[in-house]
Homo-oligomer: A and B are copies of this chain.
């Protein structure tokens, strides 16, 4: 199916990526910044969800930043900057996922020790993103109510790599005839133990539970006002 020489080269690329990701994770932990990698299909609503998350964490007194992977445009970075957070765009030049070295190169003027949270919005893709560790402490795999409930069983490598599942566009669940039970069944078959959040960033539904979870997992405390 796949050319064996491409497979071998890809394995080498993945091995190097994993090594670099481990180094990055150590660096992040030493600096005390909690790093979250957001992955989903294109159109699931990563950017709206992240914009809300950045804004809310800032309001709670946390210092936040985001790296945004995009093939071509800077639409998402522009949207995220409205939150007032530090935002930097990573243009992948057609590549369908971020890699650890792209993350590393875009960090070089940021003082990591002055940040509480760093979010990485990956390229919208349910396949290519799965194999690339970016050094994150938490990987969040997202699924919209408008997308079809069987995505987890159709894309097991990505979903099984998640530390949290976020269901987006819950405000559209009824209109889209979202089958909640089928979605949970599909997610639970892949990972029985991972927390699931039902959210709508647009209508501010379920976002507090997500933010509380994030803060608890990070064990970060806000700066004094």
Partner of A128, one of B96, B124, B172: B96
Q: Return chain B residues, CB-CB under 8 Å to A144.
A: 43, 146
Chain A: interface size category:
35 or more
In angstroms, Cα B200 to Cα A175, docked, is 13
Q: Return chain B residues, CB-CB under 8 Å to A148.
A: 42-43, 45
CB <8 Å contact, B3 and A13? yes
| Binding site secondary structure of chain A | loop
Q: Does A95 contact B (CB under 8 A)?
A: yes
Query: Copies of this chain, how many?
Result: 2
Q: Does A94 contact B (CB under 8 A)?
A: yes
Besides A2-B95, A94-B127, 15 new A-B residue pairs in contact (Cβ under 8 A), listed by A number: A1-B95, A1-B102, A3-B9, A6-B10, A70-B154, A72-B154, A72-B155, A73-B150, A96-B127, A125-B125, A127-B128, A172-B175, A175-B175, A175-B176, A177-B202
Question: 23 A-B contacts, Cβ less than 8 Å apart?
Answer: A5-B9, A6-B10, A9-B9, A42-B155, A43-B44, A43-B146, A70-B154, A72-B155, A73-B150, A73-B154, A75-B154, A94-B157, A123-B127, A125-B126, A125-B127, A128-B128, A146-B146, A146-B147, A146-B172, A169-B176, A172-B176, A175-B175, A177-B202
